Structure 1
Amino acid sequence: MTSKHLTVIGAGAWGKTLAQLAADQGHRVKLWSRSDGEPLAEAIAGADILVSAVSMKGVRAIADQVRACGPSPSTILVSATKGLEPETALTPTQIWQDRLPNNPIVVLSGPNLSKEIQQKLPTASVVASRDPQAAEIVQEAFSSALFRVYTSGDPLGVELGGTLKNVMAIAAGVCDGLNLGTNAKAALMTRSLAEIIRIGTHWGASAATFYGLSGLGDLLATSSSPLSRNYQIGYGLAQGKSLAEILTHLEGTAEGINTTQVMVQRADRYQISVPVTRQIDCLLRGETTPQRALSALMQRDTKSE
């Protein structure tokens, strides 16, 4: 394997984890954040791969800064952000592609809870791009005995899978917080996946992608672990806590909150059925309670699966 020069932008838990994964593979890695004294232009100079691990709200500003630095057209940009821009409903890679139209863009997503990876527990992930060679380079850069990386040619599907499941992770937290049991959890996850596929394919993604690691895999991980921030929000709401109270004690950003709003707006615009997302939206807005949300879902008109 040829050693690469990587710069990871964003020094949160996920950025640090990705930086460590690359360093463990013998690559030259620089971790940069806005609080660093080093100019961004110096941090990304000569980088073969740029990894963006900033929160959704910071993507556009960072993309503008990177573009101003004039990176080489051969530099690969890897987006590791899971979210949607509230104002435009754009995905992170759509923003990056607009800012760096001549650079290959790769999405990295999967059932990748940072704390478990830091504990050297095994997992798998997906890197997707319209440029197969770029995806393979990133695959090689991060693959290890504990971090198995697959490639995909559906970057939109991989990105949406990692993003839309955050809404369903909130729902899963509510389910567990109410102690609804295994049957209810299984039913919720099954119908949640159907909802993700319904809205994701309308967006332009392949249905098959959502059955993979970035869809079903990430859904299972974040809907089953208290390490998931979105799960923590749902669980806390079910315990009677306010959203403001939960967010006060939450480590990092829960992208599922903004994603819920974008999903509802898109569903309204295109008349897409998203019953789970709608109840989560009402719950986050304080317009319903976990118990009433459950009742609303269970008492919907009967239909074929």
Structure 2
Amino acid sequence: MITTKPATLTVLGAGAWGSALATLARENGHQVRVWSRSLDISLEDAIAGADIILSAISMKGVPTMIERLKAMQLPAHVVLVSATKGLDPSTTRTPSQLFQDAFPQHSIVVLSGPNLSKEIDAGLPAATVVASSDTAAAERAQQLFSSDRFRVYTNNDPIGTELGGTLKNVIAIAVGVCDGLNLGTNAKSALITRALTEVIRVGTHLGAQPETFFGLAGLGDMLATCSSPLSRNYRVGYGLAEGKALEQILDDLHSTAEGVNTTNVLIDLANREMIPVPISRQVYRLLNGKITPQQAVEALMERDLKPESCDTLVNA
């Protein structure tokens, strides 16, 4: 366990991820309060005296939560940590960007990495990234969660860290389709490799540092999410390949698969910014019932031939 001055942490969201992070901080000797709509604690009581507030709620709940927190006039020293992976449909912005717009005087930290909550709950070793333009705030979050089974790294690229964790959910759906169709290891390896190029293209267009996507929050998270049936987004793709309806798959999950919403928002953003996203576009068409899984594969395999490096930043 990392020895540091005990802090008071409030975790917003009592789902699997929020609960896992709360447990890690509590095991490090910090005071932890968890809030959700289903628990008998008011939001006001949950955040009272908090040094750090961590949001682990779903993307759709972030704008409403921000408005509620704004009304409470948080003390300036409170650090806000976002562990949500998604894009806001109304603005196409990330959760941390929404928090930064609403709380310009506060330090904002992004927490993201190859973190399957069930494995963390089981005590298996894992690593993650906390990113912020405020180095001291990132280090506070690092000390809060670091332990002998959960290694936390810092960086100064919050948007890249966040987009890596967000966009890989779209790719996980595509990889789930690949495995569901039994297309083999060669096809899956090619898909993940080309998908990484696509994610970097989107990320750098939006201001991220390219090297971030080769780290834990980029490639690391993509590999974890694209290789495990514990990933909800992977299971969405796999179910679609089996011929199941999207509504049935989502009902069976009993939890949120952020990649579905992210795909729709990403295509809006890509169309507006003219960013080539061929893999994500086929996922979008599949999720919206415009093509079958087999047709999505055919569309990607029949694209014009080109050098491998030609579409890192431009043509796809």
TM-score band by shorter chain is: over 0.9
Aligned match of 1:66 in 63, 69, 80?
Answer: 69
Q: CA deviation at 1:38?
A: 2.2
Question: What residue is the counterpart of 2:259 in the other structure?
Answer: 256
1:37 Cα deviation after fit: 3.2
Mapped partners of 1:96, 1:272: distance in 2: 25
From 277, 280, 288, the counterpart of 2:283: 280
2:214 maps to 1:216: no
Q: Deviations over 1:214-242 (max 9, x none)?
A: 11000000000011010000000000101
SS in 2 for 1:249: helix
- Alignment counterpart, residue 242 of structure 1, candidates 242, 245, 256: 245
Partners of 1:7 and 1:29 within 8 A in 2: yes
Aligned to 2:113: 110
What is the CA–CA distance in structure 2 between the aligned matches of 1:178 and 1:236, rounded to whole Å?
A: 10
Instruction: Give the corresponding residue for 2:123.
Output: 120
The superposition leaves residues 132-152 of structure 1 with CA deviations (integer Å, 9 ceiling, x where unpaired) of 000001101100011000001
Deviations 1:75-119, CA, capped at 9 Å, x for gaps: 111000000001110110111112222111100000000000000
Distance in 1, matches of 2:236 and 2:188, equals: 16
Contact 1:229 1:251 in 2 (8 A): no
Tell me the distance in 2 between the aligned counterparts of 1:57 and 1:172.
Answer: 25
Task: Specify the SS of the correspondent of 1:69.
Answer: coil
The answer to whether the 8 Å contact 1:45/1:71 transfers is no
Matched, 1:187 2:190: yes
Gaps of 5+ in 1: none
The separation in 2 between residues aligned to 1:25 and 1:63, in whole angstroms, is 28
Q: Output the CA distance in 2 between the equivalents of 1:275 and 1:304.
A: 16
Give distance in 2, aligned partners of 1:99 and 1:41.
18
Per the normalisation by structure 2, the TM-score is 0.95
Q: For 1:142-177, what per-residue CA distance to the aligned partner results, in whole angstroms no more than 9, with x for missing partners?
A: 000110000010000000000000000000100000
Please, what TM-score do these two structures have when normalized by structure 1?
0.99
Out of 254, 268, 288, which is 2:271 matched to? 268
Post-superposition offset of 1:63 = 1.1
Amino acid at match of 1:291: Q
Cα deviations by residue, 1:30-83 (Å, 9 ceiling, x for unpaired): 111122332211110111110100000000111111121122110111000000
Partner-residue secondary structure (3-state), 2:239: helix
Aligned to 2:210: 207
1:14 maps to which of 4, 7, 17:
17
- Coordinate RMSD, CA, aligned: 0.8
1:277 and 1:38 map into 2 onto residues whose CA distance is: 40
The match for 2:312 is none
